[in-house]
Amino acid sequence: MTTLRVGAQPATATDRLHRPTLTSRPTPPSPAGAAPRTRRILMLSWEYPPVLVGGLGRHVHALSVALAAAGHEVTVV
């Protein structure tokens, strides 16, 4: 089984230049002292560890782990 842990491979300068930009609307700020808003996130993928064919499964896994570590509820189907 091959997995990619969040933070396992630091991004290179080239990677940083080719990352997508944020296109969705920003979340309004929380009132002072309020807990950050937790989101329920559904991710759809035809590939996920331990069955890996290309890079999609690794990316979906790393992204879902990072979102869960940030306190969000993540479901991958």
What does the pLDDT read at residue 8? Answer: 44
Spans of all domains in the chain: 38-77
To the nearest whole percent, how much of the chain has pLDDT over 70?
Answer: 56
What is the pLDDT averaged over residues 9-37? 60
pLDDT per residue as tens digits for the range 8-21: 454 455 555 555 55
Mean of per-residue pLDDT scores for the chain = 74
Q: Is the pLDDT of residue 45 over 60?
A: yes
Alpha-helical segments (H) within 1-77: 13-17, 56-69
Question: What mean pLDDT comes out for the span 21-50?
Answer: 76
Q: Which helix (H) or strand (E) holds 77?
A: none
Closest alpha carbon to 70 in 38, 35, 33: 38
Residue 62, pLDDT > 60, answer yes
